Amino acid sequence: MDRREFTKLSALALAGTYLPIDAYGAANKQIGYAAVGLGTISDIFMRACANSPTAKITALVTGHPETKGVKYSEMYGVPKTSIYTYETFDRIRENADVDAIYVGLPNSMHCDYTVRGAQAGKHVLCEKPMAISSAECRKMIDACGQAKVKLMIGYRVQYEPMWNQAIGIVRSGGLGQLESFQGGFFGQQPAGAWRLSKALGGGGALLDLGIYPLNAIRHITGEEPANFTAVLATRERSGRFSEVEQSMEWTMKLPSGILASCGCSYGQRGPSSLAINGDSGYLVMESAFNYEGVRLHGEVGGKQIELASTEKHPYQFKIEAEHFADCIRNNKEAATPGEEGLKDMLAIEAIYGAAGAPIA
């Protein structure tokens, strides 16, 4: 299948994907983001905004204002007066250069800073998982609704062009009737990482890695899964996983009858992939949930296809930041609003419950 045929087949995907800002014709002002928490994920987001014509970093929130704060203020031209601590965070309401906050904190802090950001009159782009319970998700949605600010959850994969190509093929019937999914995201977390703390992470690999295939399946099908089975295991005896599980596998059935099996781990090597199986074709996404190098291959309409993204990290974060900037500028709802995060959390709670390990 050549590129012309592939593009024609995936036309539906292109209709629903992110459009560059020049297509909107509304690049009057860069939207200013305050990066809340200056860890690894926020570092990526700030680099993405530095290369964007429509988004920029205008404030910083950190527990280390004299070190991290000064470092990043000099990198991105943020005034020293726009460096805040967690104690002085609420003063951000006075900063007219901040249109939105980017919450890149540990999971258990997402709710508090989303609510406080909303109360300060700022729009909120919060990393996934949205929170550590469905009750917290609802609190965040309510707070943003009451403050009349926008809430977007950072599902960067939903803005990935290669994913949108695949979704276009699925929705145009290129695989026939969907029958099943197999997905997984596996990696390692070193001893002492905050994600291995129940108090900070809220749970194990399911919240951080397993959420990717879960959200992808929900997004592709437009269905909410049910009928969960799940097992978890911790084989390592070093104590690294004393608070959260090492690995989890689960299955789920969608209302239409589509079946899915997924896995995730903080203590093993494995692929980042999603297989989408129909009754007349299939697609496999490899490096599916990684920051770059996403590959797509399979059989569509009796023809083999194989494509790979050539975009360079952190392009997914740039698309994400610009999408929310456009929503703010043109008063539109984000493609991944708070309700999307809530639905994932309800499924996550059900998966933990099926494994006999309630998240709360």
Contact 300, 283 (CB under 8 A): yes
- Distances from the Cα of 161 to the Cα of 158, 182, 356, angstroms: 8, 21, 38
Active-site residue, 212 included: yes
Catalytic residue among 84, 102, 155, 212: 212
For every residue of 213-248, DSSP letters joined together read: HHHHHHHHH----EEEEEEEE----SSTTSSS-SEE
Catalytic residue among 128, 150, 318, 343: 128
Q: Is residue 113 helix, strand or coil?
A: helix
Contact 82, 56 (CB under 8 A): no
Could you give the CA distance from residue 224 to residue 229 in angstroms, rounded to a whole number? 15
Q: What DSSP element (H or E) covers 249? A: strand 247-253
Residue type, 131: A
User: What's the CA dihedral at 48, 50, 328, 213 to 10 degrees?
Assistant: 0
Active-site residue, 128 included: yes
> What residues are annotated to the active site?
128, 212
